[in-house]
Structure 1
């Protein structure tokens, strides 16, 4: 018996349906002769709105993620300041390396970032005039240490202004580290002062809130290089480059600068990492003198150390 010819359903247009089919293969009709004319059934998936409690939980968890670097920096600062590492480690640097696999610099970055974060939440960011600088009705704050690091170069009031400007440039969102760096650089260029220091001048280091200068506050050094925005100093134990706002000249006379150069040479010839702690402490105290000479006792002690380590010039 001959089979009757099959009838094919031909659609004249593409149709999207929100109905839920029992079997997609039975509801999607494909015209092999004209693929453009096909009936496609799409299942709509309803996404339920968050309840008030879920919205509250989400905001709380988001805040915890955003504040992670801040909490880490605060904890490290307390561990350092209270010397809670002293029962197992000789120095904070050794403790951070063994316990957290941090270099001393990484820990200092986190500590400095926590201080900046605190500044941003206390100086003025909580009372933003521009309502567009809020996300989900919450204050826009840094979420990583890298975003905050450039701000450590500014004074607290400048930090708050720079952050607001970076948020504006990011369209009201959390700005990237690159945007923050660009803003900070522009601010520093506007406020830059002429470098009036000269080679051979004796300057004091003002560490302030710069983590890279921790332990060098009040040290004096001899200027060995004058840059556009910084000077390179030779101190009692090292050579380092310091920004202009972290320097203060002693305004010594030329003869006094020569005397300090001689003292610096003596200290540098003695210093090494292998020195006993007592000797290091003495050299460090001489490296923080606020006068251009040694007392008779200081000179005797330094002579004794030079003889002991056979470093007489």
Structure 2
């Protein structure tokens, strides 16, 4: 007499009685006596221990290193540029950054600008909050603001992010609102020659009184070119010399000439002379200044 086959009981692990095994039609049916070792799966429990005080301190230190990585890079680039430590192998700082770090000119200057802003935030923001930027992208919108306003903008962005590190978008939105609130009309034109006004701005240390040529007009600021750098400044840090168009063109030629001599790396005494030319408050060089600059130009041609 034929008897109906008994239904095979599904094997369950001791701790998973509600779980059903997955069915795979490609796997052949395994007799019960052959799969006894596959029925029970033992998983070792992992106990999570609280960090010791020393480990908490180490974690905080390492987190700060990660957060400050872009800041340290920017500060190092600033020192490399200001001390001209690239001069033994490269004519210009931009060429050095491209060959040594693979940076575009813009990339290096963005890191340096971000480092300056970060330093300003650390100095003026409440340190007890421990909320500071973690990358250059978060800092970039703040570069459009005066250093005195940057801490206020950052704190507002942190509040908008519910006490966490704010994203680039949040910081940008806060900066935009502040700029609209403190809008100053920008009447400058490309090619116009201006004097840089430091106004107790530590970022402009050594730049006060220098002349600069406007190369880009933004809504609330201008990008200007000096004899050895390019800066983006709020209009409150600029004062027009009101030169005639011909005089502005003449200053552009002088700027190009000084820049070529500067990038040649002729020595510290030459740099001091070029710095003095970068602060002349007239649209021409004196006869002696013209003679010395011409001599230096002849030296770099050799």
TM-score by length of 1: 0.62
Question: How do 1:84-95 residues align onto structure 2 when only pairs under 5 Å count?
Answer: 84-95=85-96
SS of equivalent residue, structure 2 residue 103: coil
- Residues 188, 217 of structure 2: 8 Å contact kept: yes
- The DSSP-based 3-state class of the residue aligned with 2:239 is strand
Q: Distance in 2 between matches of 1:73 and 1:238?
A: 15
After TM superposition, list the pairs within 5 Å mapping 1:142-291 onto structure 2.
142-195=133-186, 202-206=193-197, 218-221=210-213, 228-230=219-221, 243-250=234-241, 257=244, 260-261=247-248, 263-264=250-251, 267=254, 288-291=279-282
Q: Per-residue displacement from partner, 1:139-158 (whole Å, max 9, x unpaired)? A: 12211111111112223332
Question: How far, CA to CA, are the matches of 1:232 and 1:64 in structure 2?
Answer: 32
- SS in structure 1 opposite 2:148? helix
Shift of 1:270: 7.7
Distance 1:219 1:140, change over 3 A: same
1:311 aligned residue:
none
Structure with greater contact order relative to length (CA < 8 Å, sep ≥ 6): 2
Match in the other structure for 1:48: 47
Q: Secondary structure at the match of 2:113?
A: helix
How many residue pairs were aligned?
268
Higher mean Cα deviation, 88-97 or 178-187?
Answer: 88-97
Q: CA deviation at 1:78?
A: 2.8
Query: Deviation per CA, 1:122-155, whole angstroms, max 9, x where unpaired?
Result: 2123144xxxxxxxxxx12211111111112223
Q: State how far apart, in whole Å, the 2-side matches of 1:140 and 1:7 are.
A: 63
TM-score (ref. length: structure 2):
0.64
Secondary structure at the counterpart of residue 185 of structure 1: helix
Deviation track 1:7-46 (CA, whole Å, cap 9, x = no partner) reads 5779xxxxx99x447xx9xx8557x9xxxxxxxx998774
